[in-house]
Amino acid sequence: MMRWSSDQLDKVGRAEEVQIASVRSDATLRKPVTVWVVRHGDDLYVRSVRGPSGSWFRGVQEKHEGRIRAGGVQQDVTFVEADHDINDEVDAAYQAKYRRYAGSILNSVLTPEARSTTLKLVLRSSTS
């Protein structure tokens, strides 16, 4: 299994947002959407603020593959459902990184619905 380099983790982890383009069943990329991304240890995580009904999240469910772009890094990834035991740590990462968005904006990624969509970004071989 491929692993994120320290440089990739730093760049994507520090980026304010990540662009996610999921792969359709015909192997083409959907239009990219912008979401928040957090780093926890040597892993990167994203969530859907609209929970499972979020359109980008539904698109990811089709093939669980896509491409991300953030902090000067572009990489093909697999979207892996995160173990729910990690949710408290991912919450803490969101709270630390995005604390300046206190209130409803930050809380939108901390709801039970958003937590249920926590995805780990796992490297795949890059085509670009």
Is residue 4 a contact partner of residue 42, using CB atoms and an 8 Å limit? Answer: yes
pLDDT above 80 (res 31)? yes
26: closest CA among 62, 79, 56, 55? 62
Span 17-29, pLDDT tens digits: 999 999 999 999 9
pLDDT above 80 (res 49)? yes
* 112 belongs to a structural domain: yes
Span 91-124, pLDDT tens digits: 999 999 998 988 888 999 999 999 999 999 999 9
The tokens describing 111, both together, are 């709801």
pTM over 0.75: yes
State whether residue 122 is helix, strand or coil. strand
pLDDT (0 to 100) of residue 127:
47
Span 59-103, pLDDT tens digits: 999 999 999 999 999 999 999 999 999 999 999 999 999 989 888
- Maximum CA pair distance of the chain? 40
* 92 belongs to a structural domain: yes
* 128 belongs to a structural domain: no
The tokens describing 90, both together, are 């991912």
* 127 belongs to a structural domain: no
Mean pLDDT of 35-52: 96
What total of structural domains would you count in the chain? 1
pLDDT band at 11 (very low <50, low <70, confident <90, very high): very high
Residue 73's domain spans which residues? 6-122
CATH number of the domain residue 66 falls in: 2.30.110.10
pLDDT (0 to 100) of residue 126:
56
What CA–CA distance (Å, rounded) separates 125 from 111? Answer: 33
